[in-house]
A = this chain, B = another copy of it.
Amino acid sequence: MPRLVKRTSKKAGLPPGTLIHIGEIKTKKPRITIIDYDEAQLEEKEVKQIEECFPRKDKPTVTWINIDGIHQVEIIEKLGSHFGLHPLLLEDILNTEQRPKMEDFDDYIFVVLKMLYYDGKKDEIEVEQVSLILGSNFVISFQEREGDVFDPIRERIRKGKGHIRKAGADYLAYALLDTIVDSCFLILETAGERIEDTEQQLATNPVPETLHLIRKLKKEMIILRKSIWPLREVVSGLERCESALIQKSTGAYLRDVYDHTIQVMDTVESFRDMVSGMLDIYLSSISNKLNEVMKVLTIFAVIFIPLTFVAGIYGMNFEFMPELRWHWGYPAVLIVMASIASGMLVYFRRKKWF
């Protein structure tokens, strides 16, 4: 489970625009890849130094610079100063606690998003921050670690599949956004399955372990919600913004992403509803079980306590206890006991205790 709050406080008191990486370091060395394409040509390479990207800025082709690993502040700094990015923007890229947002700086649009994936090993939802800068003919994307999420887009560019090679940088930015939003569905599927499993367990045999599962689902829903709610503002901001950087034809695609975002949010809210009710149902089940246990105890106690008392009576050592001398005393007492016991059983039957 990701920490609730990272050490953002280490920034407190520093001047705005001071570049400090906030968050875990998730990759060893940042990896910089460039894909440069238009309808006719395609160039793809991995560079060692960020400076190698700079000449691309003024070429007419669409350039996609992808940086995996954001903890080397100087890379971001150099990039920022060459591409003329606002210092506050660079600060936001480095701060992995940044809330998803979209900002229009006229010359470029800046988008921060959260990408969610389920880490099977840790059995936890992981949150990764992805930042995108969309310029007139370039897209720069920042990921916290090397990942294969954007591989299908690379493939589409390489093969010239779909609309992508013909379209501009805004369509590329859309494709990245779409991929990130689509990756939410995967997380919703695994979450949905775990919710149903827990539901199932709750219905058939709720054990203390179930409580642990519910607690975990609850926390996951809070994290999902915190990551996904601001997404809507981001996407609707992009759709509505009247920047010259976004062509009119891309609008329909952004609207489609927006639809998906709303759907993701709807699902998260439904999940929250389901999970929030689980605890009450768990509590009710536990109460049911306790009631069951108590009934068993009560039936036994209430039947045997009077019998034991009767046995106790005739276990007393008084010299003058006439019954003890009767020949049929013992069977008579046994019959009395049997009647008491069956009386009790009838009483409990009537009360529908068993």
Contact of A97 among B255, B256, B263, B282 (CB under 8 A): B263
CB of A318 within 8 A of CB of B330, answer yes
The 5 closest A-B pairs by CB, nearest first: A13-B152, A311-B312, A15-B162, A314-B316, A5-B192
CB of A324 within 8 A of CB of B318, answer yes
> What residues of B have a CB within 8 angstroms of the CB of A152 in the complex?
12-14
List the B residue with the shortest CB-CB distance to A280.
B279
Which stretch from A24-32, A75-83, A240-248, A302-310 is at the chain B interface?
A: A302-310
List the B residue with the shortest CB-CB distance to A275.
B277
> What residues of B have a CB within 8 angstroms of the CB of A309 in the complex?
304, 307-308, 311
New contact pairs (7) apart from A225-B270, A319-B325, CB-CB < 8 Å: A91-B256, A199-B219, A301-B305, A308-B309, A315-B317, A316-B330, A317-B324
> What residues of B have a CB within 8 angstroms of the CB of A225 in the complex?
270
Contact of A312 among B7, B223, B308, B323 (CB under 8 A): B308
> What residues of B have a CB within 8 angstroms of the CB of A125 in the complex?
none
> What residues of B have a CB within 8 angstroms of the CB of A230 in the complex?
266
> What residues of B have a CB within 8 angstroms of the CB of A286 in the complex?
284, 287-288, 291
State A101–B188 Cα separation when bound (angstroms).
Answer: 21
Asked if A54 CB lies within 8 Å of chain B CBs, one says no
5 A-B pairs whose Cβ atoms sit less than 8 Å apart in the complex: A199-B219, A205-B352, A296-B298, A316-B324, A318-B323
**A15-B164, A283-B283, A329-B318 given as contacts; is B277 within 8 A of A218 (CB)?**
yes
CB of A293 within 8 A of CB of B296, answer no
Asked if A339 CB lies within 8 Å of chain B CBs, one says no
> What residues of B have a CB within 8 angstroms of the CB of A126 in the complex?
none
Asked if A121 CB lies within 8 Å of chain B CBs, one says no
> What residues of B have a CB within 8 angstroms of the CB of A214 in the complex?
281
Within 8 A of B (CB), among A7-47: 7-9, 11-18
State A254–B352 Cα separation when bound (angstroms).
Answer: 55
State A241–B265 Cα separation when bound (angstroms).
Answer: 25
> What residues of B have a CB within 8 angstroms of the CB of A255 in the complex?
103
